Structure 1
Amino acid sequence: MRGSDRILVWIGSFLRQALVIGATLLSLFPVYFMIVSAFKTRFEYIEDKWGLPQSLYWANFDTALAGEKFFIRFANSSILTVGSVFLSLIIACLAAYAFARMEFYGKRTLFNIILSLMVVPPVVMIVPLFVAMVRWKLVNTYQGTILIYTGLLLPFSIYLMTNFFRTIPREIIEAARIDGCSSLRVFWNIMMPLSAPALITLIVVNALWVWNELLIALVFMQKDELKTLMVGIAALRSRNYVDIPATMAGLLIATIPIVVVYMFGQRYFIRGLTGGAVK
């Protein structure tokens, strides 16, 4: 390799590494800001928003935990997250199995309709959903909000699981059918265990979205005792009073459960995304 070619290769490698490092720092900056702000006093925050705190100020966590009924909010968020993720996972797996391994009239059309729902933003459905929930008397109930979250999670969940099921060799399923397995037994004893990476990926992604969701929780869970953690943290800010350090402390605490879920499933995460990402 000539010297000029070697220089070009080195420059290209340097630019790629610089781009990756820059993107990493950019994505980690909000995390840094949240952590350092959570341990500052309000005076320190006003004086220096980006620097490190002079000392660890733990009173912000007391404000976040006590001021907005933190544990009630935490329980509400946990109920909605677990309920909606579990329900959407069951429905998505059953539907994906039908799309991937069964033949029925209109399968491709129905699958394409479900895919098209992935591009519809939830905000455009707020009014019709609210009218429907009022008519069914499901406003300010866990059941109604879980039902809405489940419907919003299903398009992506069905898409991912369908494509992952298609990667499972058909010979395995045919061998099971020769041994006398029914469709339900093939689904439960073969497809589900082999789809662990995709299942873990769905749990992490869907739990992250539901846990951090604010708009639907704010509209459909209006009673004070039913408000979620994100709504409670947002309530730390009012028109004439903004306690950023206490808000960051609440967000830091709220981040811990999702980080734990991700750490638990990280070994399957990339495999699940790549395995179900190709149509």
Structure 2
Amino acid sequence: MRRWSGWLMAVPMAALAVATVYPLLFTVNVAMKTRREYVLDRFSLAADPRWDNIATAWTGVGMARYFLNSAVVVGCSVALLLLIGSMAGFALSQLRFRGSTTLFLVCLAALFVPFQVIMVPLARILADAGLVDTYPGLVLAYVAQFLPFTVFLMTSYYRGVPTEIVDAARIDGNTPYGVYRRIMVPIGAPALLSVGILDALFCWNDVLIALLLMPSAGHRTVMVGVTSLRGQYSADIPTFAAGVLIAAVPVLVTYLFLQRQITDGVTAGSTKG
């Protein structure tokens, strides 16, 4: 009976693994083909694997520029999210002030508001401020979209810190900022790493916000650039597949080497406090 139960678990998991890995392997194989090879047989293995398509996508198509745009925007967005989110999490979890519970509930409610609901007023506000098609505008949009998630996880994590530690730091003469900088940031480093990875993945994989706020070709992020390749290179699928592969590499590397931290970040809110 135990043997059959093991098979009942293993077979669906194996099928899920194959369904997950196969599209990636198919994309890699197509990116290594010539156009002629793909037209003749799209499912066969590349007879002579070539890196020409990846080089073309990186330099000729402009994926290098899109990649740099995404790196700049994601780096600035994650830095702001972690700074504001950790400060807010410390204040909402350890400092007692009027309205703290209400403010936390507002942040929690904001998690359930889809971007489509706020995208028109957000775009209008950024347009009035002259921030459309600029890096700061996209960074602010990402911070506004993903800050509730960051605040929620950091608040949940910091609620697990004993209040005696904070009280002892205050008795030693630390201001609230000193407690945050000297105590809460080192203690919250694992949560900050996990939340930072998740925020980076959210920002990197975004298409809708970047497509709405960055209309010019020179400011496209990597995911918007991949979307545009689908129209420009619909007849050259290997080059399009190479662009998809370039965009997916950072995500794959992150999941491969930091999956433990990602799991910790997802479960932080349910295991702390």
For normalisation by structure 2, the TM-score amounts to 0.90
Shift in CA distance, 132/159, structure 1 to aligned 2, threshold 3 Å: same
Q: Distance in 2 between matches of 1:202 and 1:228?
A: 22
Deviations 1:204-260 (A, max 9, x none): 111111112112212211122212222222222227834322122112222333444
Shift of 1:168: 1.9
Aligned residues: CA RMSD: 2.2
Q: Matched residue of 1:26: which SS? A: helix
Q: Distance in 2 between matches of 1:39 and 1:223?
A: 30
State how many pairs are aligned: 272
Partner of 2:28: 35
Partner of 1:5: none
Deviations 1:177-221 (A, max 9, x none): 232222212111111111122111112111111112112212211
Shift of 1:263: 5.4
Shift of 1:133: 1.5
Deviations 1:43-87 (A, max 9, x none): 333444444322212221132123322222222111110111111
Q: Distance in 2 between matches of 1:186 and 1:50?
A: 59
Matching of residues 108-123 of structure 1 within 5 Å: 108-123=101-116
Shift of 1:165: 0.8
Partner of 1:84: 77
Q: Distance in 1 between matches of 2:117 and 2:76?
A: 24
Shift of 1:134: 1.5
Residues 68 and 232 in structure 1, CA contact (< 8 A), matched pair in contact too: no
Partner of 2:17: 24
Amino acid at match of 1:181: N
Amino acid at match of 2:58: L
Partner of 2:128: 135
Amino acid at match of 2:264: R
Partner of 2:240: 247
Amino acid at match of 1:219: L
Structure 1: where are the runs of 5+ without partners? 1-7
Matching of residues 80-229 of structure 1 within 5 Å: 80-229=73-222
Higher mean displacement: 147-156 or 244-253 = 244-253
Regions of 4+ moved over 6 Å: none
Partner of 2:57: 64
Identity %: 37
Shift in CA distance, 267/9, structure 1 to aligned 2, threshold 3 Å: closer
Q: Matched residue of 1:249: which SS? A: helix
Q: Distance in 1 between matches of 2:227 and 2:91?
A: 41
Structure 2: where are the runs of 5+ without partners? none
Amino acid at match of 2:56: T
Partner of 1:4: none
For normalisation by structure 1, the TM-score amounts to 0.88
Residues 167 and 275 in structure 1, CA contact (< 8 A), matched pair in contact too: no
Residues 126 and 132 in structure 2, CA contact (< 8 A), matched pair in contact too: yes
Q: Matched residue of 1:53: which SS? A: coil
Q: Distance in 2 between matches of 1:102 and 1:210?
A: 30
